Amino acid sequence: MKKQYLELTRLVERLHRRFLDVLRAELTRQGIKEVNAVQALLLTNIGEEEIVIRDLVERGYYLGSNVSYNIKKLSEMGFLEQQRSEHDRRSVRIKLTPKALDLVSKIKTLEDNHVTSLTDNDVAEGDIDQVLKTLRRVERTWADHMHFGGL
């Protein structure tokens, strides 16, 4: 079990890096040079909703300084609109601009192509469901460890 667990943790890390490589290649293929893969992924995680920056951090997607830097850059490049909350001036709400929505649409097309490719390579929906179930258990175990501590 220990060997599989260690392989799993390294595989998750490699898969994330590989997905960023795929995004980077797609951005290059489409001639999009102003946004990097991490920023493109950030835009897809925001999606079509208006969101408070703090929520991105709380969802566990990003570290505070990392998200702040990328939000600033994406705003400067015209991909995000920012607005201070009327109720809490410390809170900033963000939403995608039409420019960002166009980019997110291209990434969704790429994801659709990946789903087709998985199906073409005999990866069944049940296989993906089982992987997701296992990864959620691992995530829950790690979250419990962080919350309750102990080794």
State the pTM of this model.
Answer: 0.83
Tens digit of pLDDT for each residue in 19-73? Answer: 999 999 999 998 999 999 999 999 998 988 888 888 877 776 676 678 888 999 9
- Show the domain range for 51: 2-120
CATH number at residue 62: 1.10.10.10
Name the percent of the chain lying above pLDDT 90. Answer: 62
Residue 148 located in a structural domain: no
Handedness of CA 34, 47, 115, 130 (dihedral sign): positive
Structure tokens given for 111: 């994801």
Asked if residue 26 belongs to a domain, the reply is: yes
Q: How far apart are CA 88 and CA 76, in angstroms?
A: 23
Is position 142 within any domain? no
Q: What does the pLDDT read at residue 60?
A: 64
Question: Looking at the domain assignment, is residue 149 inside a domain?
Answer: no
Structure tokens at 52: 């408070």
Residue 4's Cα: distance from chain center in Å? Answer: 25
134 within a domain of the structure (yes/no) = no
3-class secondary-structure state, position 92: strand
Mean pLDDT, the chain, as a whole number?
A: 89
pLDDT in tens, 99-141: 999 999 999 999 999 999 998 888 888 999 999 999 999 989 9
Q: What is the total count of domains within the chain?
A: 1
Q: Quick check: is 131 in a domain?
A: no
Helices (H) and strands (E) in the chain, counts: 6, 3
Rounded Cα gap, residues 23 and 37, in angstroms: 5
Assess if residue 133 is contained within a domain: no
